[in-house]
Amino acid sequence: MSVLVVTGTDTGVGKTVVTAAVAALARARGASVAVVKPAQTGVLPGEPGDLDEVIRLSGVTTTFEFARFPAPLSPAAAARAAGLPPVSLLDAASRVRELAESHRLVVVEGAGGLLVRFDEDGTTIADLARLLTAQVLVVTRAGLGTLNHTALTLEALANRGVDPAGVVIGSWPREPGAAERSNVPDLEMLAARPLSGALPEGAGLLEPDTFTEVARNGLAATLGGAFAPARFRETFKLTP
């Protein structure tokens, strides 16, 4: 897979940390990697954004932010509030294809959830994935509410003819409760496959070397890691 789109079931679920983890593992294997953020919102010019976090954690420095809007809103609403034209995902697709010609992997991180609007026509990151014929990695929460959000996200992907690359829990708590424990087998049932990973809570605060090792243990082989769903379930005594 030369292009991977990372989306979430909501905002704040760990998309940036998962994006950094995928990039870090690809870089550790010696692959050429580029990371793209089509639209960054809620960040002023000159302030560090999501890509700065990706650079710090993964060491990947080939990054591209196509548009930035200061209001912490959806890309479409933030562009409107700033009086600026919205980012064109059609143009973004063209630029990502160019990057894919010279990089082994291009990771594209969305904004918010799958169906967040990027322009007034309602274009979403799912549309970008379809334009790129790219799979979408879904990052989800561990706790209450995650099953409905994940089911809706996967259903929306299927309705748009976009293949999921898997489901990753963006922040697995140090002390999972009953909700988190019972959600894992249900998440796997919704995805019709084992989990593609679970990054531990606080992974984004780690130093780069430690982060890469945590990423390796937290992401499945399809993403360059060594995460074993069966061992994960056994460790936390989760019902298969």
Question: Model confidence over 81-137: pLDDT tens digits?
Answer: 999 999 999 999 999 999 999 999 999 999 999 999 999 999 999 999 999 999 999
Residue 15 annotated to the active site: no
In angstroms, rounded to a whole number, what is the distance separating the alpha carbons of residues 35 and 54?
8
Q: pLDDT averaged over the chain?
A: 95
**CATH number given to 3-235:** 3.40.50.300
Q: Which of 5, 9, 24, 37 is catalytic?
A: 37
- Alpha-carbon torsion, ordered 196, 181, 215, 33, to 10 deg: 40
* The pairing of beta strand 68-69 with beta strand 40-41: parallel
Could you give the count of Cα atoms lying within 13 Å of 27 in the half-sphere of its Cβ? 24
The reported pLDDT for the residue numbered 150 is 98
Is 11:196 a contact under the CB 8 Å cutoff? no
The reported pLDDT for the residue numbered 236 is 76
What are the pLDDT digits (tens) for 3-38? Answer: 999 999 999 999 999 999 999 999 999 999 999 999
pTM: 0.96
Average pLDDT over residues 56-75: 97
Average pLDDT over residues 172-193: 94
